[in-house]
Structure 1
């Protein structure tokens, strides 16, 4: 038993052993070649120098083995390139010996070696070296590698070159928990074909047969697929109880890294769209050697803005946030990832004007990215004064300081909830938009004030997808406010690229909106996430409808009713021309609402907010009474 365990602990055959075996194969091949011809009664040339001739063949071949390093690869992971090395080595040996024969024939009148001997030696040696490697691979596969019964049986989608490379990567990396079980193809002309020793199953054949579904545990798709292909194969797999795995073949070169990168498909993969085309050089030129301020820098959007700006060779990036622990964690990450970039991490509240002014005075920023805001709708509905302090007052502080200290560009991150708002959070962001826009044409202004507006961000703090994941991990139920609720989604990197691009292309005063594609029904999102986690919606994981939360609406919008959309040179980026207010008017209203927030008079705060944002109609909220009063006043 002890010997068996020692064999199982063997991970590879040492190189010196492979070298010795290859030499033994060469010696054996020469002897077999000569003995075969001798048994046929063939008379050999220069019989008196037979030992020397055999020795010279072996020496020549050893020299080429050393040159091409045929012994260097780990045999259990041999690939086509390793077999090519053997061909090059043996072929070069044959050519060299043929050259010696040619010289011998010219000088001595007859060749040194009989040509049948050379060709027999060539074919026998190649065959035996190949055979040795194949037997070794099979030995490791059966006796050394992990028990295949514990591995996931994977069906690779596609039969093209990329799929074959992916399948080879799985075969040649037995330490990973996957076993190639076959291929899936939409084509119908390959039913009886075999690929890498495995069957190719047609999609229709797969759908009709329960036996085929029993042969697989998971379907493996590639990140190079179109969204439509990915959705089709995902639906096929999930409908039949199979896992869906994704391989990063587009961005990884090494086979081992490809297999390491295989992971369960995430809902974000299905919601993602082709990334917006960003003019990298133009964006970079705006940031090189500039001092940048990012507020809300420890949040989902702010931290990604910092990561992207850190690649653009700015002279200094100042990161401001009032959340201590997230800011510290970001500091540790950025200092490790970007050792050559200068950072300054500031724990501060943007509603503190004097604290902010000290930063502007000390650093003279060229660009300000304003991502700091309170964003959770129900919390803000219960605490409207906090939205006034941060979303309006904080934005007002930063915008006025940007004008005072001649910041070149001020880029504000806004939200689709600012459009026809139904909650305090959205209305406070719309008020902030109005204030920022009003400064563009104010007296003595040199700053370009730019706003970006987009929908929900996949994976951001507190967003629906991480929330659903936690609920699924706990065994459910998954809670949805309403069966018909829909939302737009975009990825965090995509959102931040939009912010950087807007800061570059903006002339001042614009609100940029993004073509976010089709909205997603949250119920469909939840059901898909449950299936991707290996459960059945409604059976394994229940879905509960809890009703709309205060201030929440079924449908989000990106444009106001009175706005017009102007295209830009980016097909996915548009300019929303919303109504604007004069600086003096919005300034006075903001001062008034901030004073009300100090007194924490929620009704008066929201009433004034509705004056600033006339389209703000509360929904499922205690503040709906204010809309009824307003309607009654109009009627009177």
Structure 2
């Protein structure tokens, strides 16, 4: 039957056809009324002008059809909004005809039309036009159901909620049977809708789902609205997973049309739950700092750096120079940015920030106003095995950029740091803390005009090498999911949120500050892994095994945002605070940086880490070969 009608390929009834049918309905209504009046032997005024009177009714109706565009709606998606357009059109026609009657009655002593005939015309024409739309809509649905009734493995879904957005979502599923979803009902937390029906489907109460395991067998998945509050979303997700149901998420209905809603339905991701409330950014202040300015972003092809570039590209900068040593990611970013921001002036530079001469040429040529320094080595185990590389990039590269920024009078230097720099237990964190100390020391150095700013935050969702993509790959392979320790916890923040706060912090303060961000509540990695396994449709430790492999060299059970000796000062932005950490004089840290660079060139790992522990006294190695240095220092203290 689908081959005969090919209704799947028919997107909508042509507008000219709808317009023609509406005119036919109006003409039929007028003729029907006059035939009825004739059969009842009712006297008609001005019978000699009957044709003209009929044409007047049809003409006035056509005028208002064109004005209100009653023909413009897609018939198979007709709603009461379309009915109201018909009502306005027919009502306006009725009012105009009443006006003609009034004029005729005043001028000629009798009305042009019989008043009961006008009421009948208004009622019949309106009803038939709306009935035509509902009938077409129903026929379309019936034929589509016939076309797709034999489609295998449809996902039986229950839409969460009974509000307007949930109804629109359910309608989208009903009107698009070619997709993989089949509506089976609604779930609601309300207790007053137990016996109610919505769109012909039953509404199930949350308590029913909690009490009855058999009820869950009627569905394959629950569908959560895109704009649901986080707490409510988490509650429904937990309930569904406990009942063995999949969790799906719909896109925001306000952003796309109904035809694309169903195609936008996707499996619920753990990032949807970890995402937090939107950041309030003082956009005018941020924009004014960047507008018509030359901006440098190091590590620009990385997770954080590339998002900083994307956000800065929307602020009207005269030039954005993107520096990274990773060739392929930089090339991919270049293709993306040139397509997304064709009017923005970019310069993509393949360079290593440890190469001072390469960087100096950039500062000479482009006269930067702001430097965003996001380039760094960040993987704890790799850096623990290669401490000299952390010195070259995290310390030496930062030193190069900071000194050049001071030399070339850059207005603001913004360094992206990490919570691993706080009371570090690994070389990576200690190297970032040393970089922080160097940047801070320059603030009060002679003849300095640059504002040196440091931003410090925790893990970002979806960044290169982060835990969530890693777990996802392990689950896709069938497990096991590997966790270092059952009690390990981490803070998480989305990449856009982190970068928005970096840009905001870059506009604040007098320089020399370390800004720490509100990271929300820490998340237990074991709970995160279990939820990701459940969201993938598996049972933890049954379908997908969880293995504990022990803490990696230098890894902590938990991260901190503040050192033991620091205090925080609030700022005017609720999510940004200032950390008051111990400082070092420029001459002292400059001397130590030169010493550690010489040791790094010789690849003397123990010597490198020993100097690093002098720069960062709170650096105590954990689960690492460098613990021996702490033991030696401890013995020296007691002797």
TM-score after normalising by structure 2: 0.95
Equivalent residue runs for 1:3-14 within 5 Å: 4=4, 6=6, 9-14=9-14
Is 1:530 matched with 2:533?
yes
Q: Which moved more, 1:167-176 or 1:11-20?
A: 167-176
Offset of 1:52 from its aligned partner?
4.1
Is 1:278 matched with 2:284?
no
Equivalent residue runs for 1:615-630 within 5 Å: 615-630=618-633
Offset of 1:172 from its aligned partner?
4.6
What SS class does the counterpart of residue 504 from structure 1 fall into?
coil
Is 1:389 matched with 2:392?
yes
C-alpha contact 2:61 2:93 (8 A) present in aligned 1: yes
What SS class does the counterpart of residue 440 from structure 1 fall into?
coil
Is 1:24 matched with 2:21?
no
Offset of 1:564 from its aligned partner?
1.1
Residue equivalent to 1:94: 94
Offset of 1:34 from its aligned partner?
3.0
Residue equivalent to 1:349: 352
Offset of 1:613 from its aligned partner?
1.2
Q: Which moved more, 1:475-484 or 1:348-357?
A: 475-484
Q: Which moved more, 1:9-18 or 1:392-401?
A: 9-18
Gaps of 5+ in 1: none
Is 1:120 matched with 2:120?
yes
What SS class does the counterpart of residue 127 from structure 2 fall into?
helix
What SS class does the counterpart of residue 199 from structure 1 fall into?
strand
Residue equivalent to 1:72: 72
Residue equivalent to 2:144: 144
Query: How far apart, in 1, do the equivalents of 2:51 and 2:453 lie?
Result: 87
Change (3 A) 1:60 1:516: same
Offset of 1:194 from its aligned partner?
2.7
Query: How far apart, in 2, do the equivalents of 1:3 and 1:608 lie?
Result: 78
C-alpha contact 2:423 2:618 (8 A) present in aligned 1: yes
Residue equivalent to 1:548: 551
Is 1:494 matched with 2:497?
yes
Select which of 360, 363, 369 maps to 1:360. 363
Query: How far apart, in 2, do the equivalents of 1:193 and 1:408 lie?
Result: 64
Offset of 1:2 from its aligned partner?
8.8
Change (3 A) 1:251 1:616: farther
Aligned pair count reads 636
Equivalent residue runs for 1:324-343 within 5 Å: 324-343=327-346
Change (3 A) 1:326 1:2: closer
Is 1:446 matched with 2:457?
no
What SS class does the counterpart of residue 228 from structure 2 fall into?
coil
Residue equivalent to 2:135: 135
Offset of 1:410 from its aligned partner?
0.9
Gaps of 5+ in 2: none
Q: Which moved more, 1:310-319 or 1:151-160?
A: 151-160
Change (3 A) 1:215 1:54: farther
Change (3 A) 1:98 1:241: same
Which runs of structure 1 show a deviation greater than 6 angstroms over 4 or more consecutive aligned residues?
A: none
Offset of 1:345 from its aligned partner?
0.6
Query: How far apart, in 2, do the equivalents of 1:606 and 1:207 lie?
Result: 56
Query: How far apart, in 2, do the equivalents of 1:3 and 1:432 lie?
Result: 69
Residue equivalent to 1:84: 84
Measured against aligned partners, the alpha-carbon deviations of 1:589-627 in whole angstroms (never above 9, x if no partner) come to: 111111111111111111221111111111111111222
Measured against aligned partners, the alpha-carbon deviations of 1:251-304 in whole angstroms (never above 9, x if no partner) come to: 616444544443322211211222332211111111111111110000000001
C-alpha contact 1:77 1:173 (8 A) present in aligned 2: no
Query: How far apart, in 2, do the equivalents of 1:6 and 1:564 lie?
Result: 71
C-alpha contact 1:480 1:547 (8 A) present in aligned 2: yes
What SS class does the counterpart of residue 249 from structure 1 fall into?
coil
Residue equivalent to 1:311: 314
Change (3 A) 1:189 1:601: same
Select which of 556, 577, 582 maps to 1:579. 582
C-alpha contact 1:11 1:144 (8 A) present in aligned 2: no
Offset of 1:484 from its aligned partner?
0.7
C-alpha contact 2:161 2:187 (8 A) present in aligned 1: yes
Query: How far apart, in 2, do the equivalents of 1:272 and 1:497 lie?
Result: 14
Query: How far apart, in 2, do the equivalents of 1:320 and 1:574 lie?
Result: 29
Select which of 205, 209, 212 maps to 2:208. 205
Query: How far apart, in 2, do the equivalents of 1:604 and 1:424 lie?
Result: 12
C-alpha contact 2:248 2:266 (8 A) present in aligned 1: yes
Is 1:428 matched with 2:425?
no
